[in-house]
A and B are shown apart, each in its own frame.
Chain A
Amino acid sequence: MRASDHEQFRQFVDARGAVLFRVALALTGTREAAEDLLQTVLARTFVRWRHVLGDPEMYVRRSLYHAQVSVWRRRARVRETPTGQMPERPDPRDHMDAAEQRLLVRRALLRLGPRQRAVLVARFLEDLSEERTAALLGCSTGTVRSQTYRALSRLRQVAPELNVGRGDIERRAEEWIP
């Protein structure tokens, strides 16, 4: 690899690394996992740098989403063990302050499967359109809508005390559920 390739790669990471790290953080949920994921993907990108020069960010973004899913292949085999005692949950009628609500949402997000989290990150963090999300994940726009709805439903299921309203996106996505 030529010195100019090194320099181009370095410039790319310096310019876009922070944005890509945000995506990795949202996909994985922890700093350590995000660093691992992003470094793995960037190392692969570096090895193939001359081939991806046309649009390296597209390559890295797609790799981030798909690499995170493949990491789950092994983890998925260790299933969640139910506990004998349910943790105490606040009564939804009680006043829930914003901090509590955010904590509940974050915990619920981290309990989603990789595919559902990926759809939410693409739609709500990256603000990608349904068409762009479909292109990134390699599926139809209908699948993006139905998966968005399923992911939001799952959040309500794992955190019923949230007791929050539905937005236009959720209502529109519901129309795609068979």
Chain B
Amino acid sequence: MTALPDLVRSELQDLADSHPPPAGLADRSIRAGHRRRRRAVAAVAAACVLGVALPLAVAAVRLSGPAGVIDTVTTGDTNARNVVYAVHRGAWDNAGQTPWQILDPTSGDYRDLAAGWVSEPSSDLRYAMILPPWVYKPGEMPGPATRVGRYESATGKIRWYDIGRGIAEPQISPDGRRAVVAEAYGAPGRPVVLDLDSGATQTVTLEPTAEDAIEGSYGTSDLRWHPDSQHLVAGGHIVVDLRGRVTKILPVPADAAAVALRPTGNGLLVQPQDGGYALTDDRGRIVARAALNQTYGFETWRGRNGIVLHGDADQFLGLNLRSGDLRTVYTMPQNPLRVDNVIVAPADALPVGSRSPTF
């Protein structure tokens, strides 16, 4: 009988040989590299222009906004507000690092930061977790980050924590007191919870039910914080405590997939098989539903009954699950400053009249 590893080896070789290498790869890469370089130069030039007009309180260049287009939207929920917390630019700066721009919620400005990763922020937008930028050294095999930082949005200060092994995708709890990190390329069922005050770490050993729900994911992308900051949620609907024990499994309707826990902790956001999104109650009954013509990825919550979706190309859409209202709420900046990633966060905790550009 053929062994599975032999079949895998043979099939991977077939897959790798299934297409010839593309013609003109070197020239296309050089052209793309030139475009990348021009974008980097344009980014520096734009930052310098804005820097002349704005007082520089810190060494980092501050920009006056996320440089995207905010489309006003009325959802009927006056508390439903979002903000662009961070923007990741594809262009590399002169040091070969990928720059982020992160919101200072007290001023509404954006601060530059070279980082390898920026998480979604705590619910008050005060903190986010970051990883140091990846710096390549010739002749060395660089490994993953072994330390993680807590970034303070209002000051730009970073407190670093050494984890002592390769880590990926840190996420901060909604209350900003803890972070969960995954071991880079390690077992997904054994993430580490970090106490951000004491620096103490604790390895979480997920029960098999929860581990199965995140099997195959990278980092913590399928393991999220519960709104109460005391639990984690695996696979969108399995609640575990910080020791990894399953404390609750929210029922998922038949022919639907769990996406996320609702902000109240009761019920789920689910994706029905026939499209769109729906809200369920604690017993798995659908209580609100909005159909969509095509699939858009869930980004974050927009109040209690709405969500922000990643639309086509550079657009973010607001969807009210009660009314079915769908419209563009934010458009990413266009060239020459190409954007690789935008982190949109709920802005419910910001005071009314905040200078942050909410939408």
A contact set with B: CB distance below 8 Å: 6, 9-10, 13-14, 17-18, 21-23, 25-26, 29, 31, 34-35, 38-40, 42-48, 51-55, 58-59, 62, 69, 72-84, 101-102, 105-106, 109, 112-116, 118-121, 124-125, 135-140, 143, 146-147, 150, 152, 154-156, 162, 164-167, 169-170
A165–B257 touching, CB < 8 Å: no
B164 within 8 A of A: no
Question: B293 on the interface (CB 8 Å rule)?
Answer: no
Contact between A165 and B12, CB atoms less than 8 A apart: no
| Contact residue among B16, B96, B221, B273 (Cβ-Cβ distance under 8 Å from A125) | B16
CA distance A48 to B10 in the complex (A): 35
Question: Interface residues of B, CB < 8 Å — how many?
Answer: 75
- Tell me the complex Cα distance, A56–B13, Å: 24
Q: CA–CA, A113 to B170, complex, Å?
A: 19
**Beyond A44-B33, A114-B218, A150-B187, 12 extra complex contacts between A and B, CB < 8 Å:** A43-B33, A54-B139, A76-B221, A78-B271, A83-B273, A106-B14, A115-B217, A120-B12, A137-B184, A167-B6, A169-B5, A170-B5
What 6 A-B pairs are tightest by C-beta distance, nearest first? A113-B216, A54-B138, A46-B33, A167-B3, A42-B29, A43-B32
Q: Is B312 an interface residue (CB 8 A)?
A: no
The answer, yes or no, to whether B92 is at the interface (CB within 8 Å) is yes
Cβ-defined contact, A152 with B5, below 8 A: yes
A115 and B273 contact, CB distance less than 8 A: no
Assess the B187–A143 pair: CB atoms within 8 A.
Answer: yes
Q: Which residues of A contact B143 (CB under 8 A)?
A: 138
User: CA separation between A82 and B252, bound complex, in Å?
Assistant: 11
Q: Which of A38, A125, A147, A152 contacts B13 (CB 8 A)?
A: A125
Q: A25-B15, A26-B16, A46-B30 are in contact. Are A166 and B258 (CB under 8 A)?
A: no
